[in-house]
Amino acid sequence: MVDASFSRQRYLEDRVGGVRQRWIFAVAVALILIGLGFVLLQRGFGGNRAGVVPSVTATTTARDRVSDELLEATKGLQVTQQQTVDEIQVVQDQLAAQKAETKKLSEQIAAVTEKLQALQQSVADIPAPSVATPVSPPKSRH
């Protein structure tokens, strides 16, 4: 019974770990897409307002600015991803410690259960005292 509950708990924990990793990946992809969308919107609305063809220098400067923004956004995502990985590692370490403690406690419970069953069996094997003949105290000699 203890093994079945331990196996179910491990299955649920493994399943949650996979969901977390997929969720982190989805958030990272969403942030990248949002950043790219923002850059594209800035480029579309920010440039060529007067209908004048921008010069090569202005285009190069705009590209450099966009490139720098993308680089900064990428670095920010890398930092966030590393922090998330570190936090997941801490959680996994805590989970491993909890699993070890649970296993230890399960083994202790099993040992106590065995001792209790042995004690119950030994009590059941003791014959009941006979009530038919009362024991009288020995008479003193004078």
Tens digit of each residue's pLDDT (9 = 90 or more) over 48-105 = 554 445 566 778 888 888 889 999 999 999 999 999 999 999 999 999 999 999 999 9
DSSP characters for 116-135? HHHHHHHHHHSPPPP-SSPP
DSSP 8-class letter at 51: S
- Token pair belonging to 90: 């801490």
Closest CA to 68 of 55, 31, 76, 44: 76
In a domain, 80, yes or no: yes
Residue 128 lies in a domain: no
CA distance linking residue 86 with residue 67, whole number of Å: 28
Contact by Cβ (8 Å): 102, 8: no
Average pLDDT over residues 12-17: 68
- Rounded (10°) CA dihedral 118, 121, 127, 128: 110
Domain presence at residue 39: yes
Domain contains 2: no
pLDDT for the residue numbered 136: 65
Q: What is the count of structural domains for the chain?
A: 1
Domain annotation covers residue 76: yes
Quick one: tokens of 59?
């285009």
The answer to whether residue 28 is domain-embedded is yes
The model carries a pTM of: 0.41
| Confidence tier at 133 by pLDDT (50, 70, 90) | low
Tell me if 6 is assigned to some domain.
no
Is residue 142 a part of any domain in this protein? Answer: no
Give the domain range for residue 108. Answer: 13-47+54-116
Radius of gyration of the chain from its Cα atoms, rounded to whole angstroms: 37
Q: Which of 15, 20, 64 is nearest to 39 (CA)?
A: 64
